[in-house]
Structure 1
């Protein structure tokens, strides 16, 4: 039995989200119907709204969701009505060469799992199909997700915190722990202190980095970075940030993490490295951006530049672990959420996100 739900729909891009009524389909064999409590607002959503990245409208954005299972398909295993779950857009098939090699974020069948099904997940009152972003579409009262895009989390986990586990936290933590594999005693720089950057900063501290340098242009975020465990901060407005980092780190860091999504900041992250260092790109860089590197640094100094999609995660293991570390007080994930809005005011939430003043912004969809 299909259901009617309120959803924030992007009908034109650039544009704003419009709250309207949609019809959501029944779960297929491998799908789970989830009642959304909270959804995180991500810069990737913002880039589709403002036209930075191309999109297909109409679309329901939002891929960082926490909610309660309402109904499961006949082939679903490990989920029951009443479970609290978190979504992650890096759905995986478990059978392709990448999945079998342990690299599920590169799953060859992710797009099929996200979008291919006999009927549209969502339709509007005109009978037009509405695409749920990444097969999730979290800015709606309910979402229909493949079982390999969900993980059960503790029922007592703060829902606003849970809503950012599936992207911001997973991306930042995973880039440090899975992709770069920071070792105790190494020096680390994090360029860009949003939700992803602050997660990376905490992961570096957790990994035993002897120095963690936070770089941003917002004074309040630099102050907060020290509370999250940074040993040093650099205000990129005050001159040469690369020179400042190299000066603080005795000639350069072992690892630099870029969380802005700009060719310029990727170039800076690479330039902050000491010989043998690695720069890891977490941000979404538009194709037109230029990245300037000194070629000799690649072969004479053996520096590396690499990417990490969604923290190169294993989210069904990672997310429960991060939740437990937060419960233990080892991580400060509750403090990542600095602003909350409702579905009806979600456009104001995106303005807050675009301002750069907030760490992470979330929307209460049906939150208690």
Structure 2
């Protein structure tokens, strides 16, 4: 089969490797689509706890092709999605119910072979039926699951005002989940006009165009002079995190959701956080949110039409990365092996 194979950070080739064979408890599926996201850029650079050699791709949807011994509840030809994230079950964090914070966390596409390949293997316990979804919907199951975990971290109170900075796929999914949850109003701010148009179509109450130079933030002051109960930074840019804290209402919460470089830092006033009782929290990924994500996609609570902007063949993986990194028209980029 053809697969993207990294030998080391930034060093990869699209090459032929043997088809994987499912072992006991495993499922092999033919990958229909695999999403490319900002995490894959970090994996490319060798961060985000990636282990090499590696075939990345942690957002796959595919058709069951072979079933290992002892697997029940799946059949050949069934469309599935795979979560790919698991804890060891034995470390201190796992034993206290914090499996996502496992000190030996495994993630298909990050620590083991993922979906940028014609075929992929996953433990059956990590696979979920998606036969009633189109592949263009199902490929967004993993981003939706991560967004659901983010909302769980926020636990918004009824009547909250929310600001989501960043209108990438996960930012827009988060905005939809907040709008359909306890938030009374949801504002989305981003530099891209066409992404903001999509945010408005998905139900954002206000959209604000901001610049990477800090322009546009005054408009957020007009909308919420005293700040927002919830501010989500879904950009992965430390400079945005720096500005976002100033838009949190007294007693409000800042959720750091985007993936920055590990070396990035942000300055803030401890007294300001103390005096205004600001909560700063993070949302890393997900580990048990796939059932809820699939339910949200099935019900239409999370709309996906228009999110996918670019589809590349596996041979064009380098172009897919370049598009995600630098093309201002890019939204959700996917690989079709």
- TM-score normalised by length of structure 2: 0.89
Q: 1:75 to 1:107 in 2, by over 3 A?
A: farther
1:49 to 20, 44, 52: 44
Structure 1 residue 92, shift from structure 2 partner: 4.3
The answer to whether the aligner puts 1:158 opposite 2:134 as a matched pair is: yes
Q: 1:10 to 1:95 in 2, by over 3 A?
A: closer
User: Structure 2 CA distance, aligned partners of 1:18 and 1:161?
Assistant: 28
2:223 to 248, 256, 274: 248
User: What does residue range 227-238 of structure 1 map to in structure 2 within 5 Å?
Assistant: 227-237=201-211
Q: Deviations along 1:50-70, whole A, 9 cap, x unmatched?
A: 566675543211110001222
CA contact (8 A) 1:161 1:337 kept: no
Q: 1:313 to 1:59 in 2, by over 3 A?
A: closer
User: Structure 2 CA distance, aligned partners of 1:250 and 1:210?
Assistant: 16
Q: 1:96 to 1:84 in 2, by over 3 A?
A: farther
Q: Secondary structure at the match of 1:268?
A: helix
User: Structure 2 CA distance, aligned partners of 1:304 and 1:89?
Assistant: 30
User: Structure 1 CA distance, aligned partners of 2:103 and 2:8?
Assistant: 30
Other-structure match for 1:363:
335
Structure 1 residue 220, shift from structure 2 partner: 1.7
Moved more, 350-359 or 139-148: 350-359
Other-structure match for 1:320:
294
Q: Secondary structure at the match of 1:49?
A: helix
User: Structure 2 CA distance, aligned partners of 1:165 and 1:316?
Assistant: 7
The answer to whether the aligner puts 1:14 opposite 2:5 as a matched pair is: no
The answer to whether the aligner puts 1:277 opposite 2:248 as a matched pair is: no
Structure 1 residue 247, shift from structure 2 partner: 2.7
User: Structure 1 CA distance, aligned partners of 2:335 and 2:39?
Assistant: 15
User: Structure 1 CA distance, aligned partners of 2:112 and 2:124?
Assistant: 11
Q: Deviations along 1:335-367, whole A, 9 cap, x unmatched?
A: 3212211112222222221224222111111xx
Other-structure match for 1:201:
175
Other-structure match for 1:38:
33
CA contact (8 A) 1:342 1:364 kept: yes
User: What does residue range 142-221 of structure 1 map to in structure 2 within 5 Å?
Assistant: 142-153=119-130, 155-166=131-142, 168-176=143-151, 178-221=152-195
Q: 1:73 to 1:101 in 2, by over 3 A?
A: farther
User: Structure 1 CA distance, aligned partners of 2:296 and 2:218?
Assistant: 34
2:270 to 295, 303, 324: 295
Other-structure match for 2:85:
90
The answer to whether the aligner puts 1:336 opposite 2:307 as a matched pair is: yes
Q: 1:217 to 1:52 in 2, by over 3 A?
A: farther
User: Unaligned 5+ residue runs, structure 2?
Assistant: none
The answer to whether the aligner puts 1:138 opposite 2:133 as a matched pair is: no
Q: Secondary structure at the match of 1:277?
A: strand
User: Unaligned 5+ residue runs, structure 1?
Assistant: 116-131
Q: 1:182 to 1:264 in 2, by over 3 A?
A: same
Q: Secondary structure at the match of 2:253?
A: strand
Q: 1:54 to 1:306 in 2, by over 3 A?
A: closer
User: Structure 2 CA distance, aligned partners of 1:19 and 1:50?
Assistant: 17
User: Structure 2 CA distance, aligned partners of 1:309 and 1:35?
Assistant: 28
Q: Deviations along 1:4-40, whole A, 9 cap, x unmatched?
A: x11122345335x522101244222232212111100
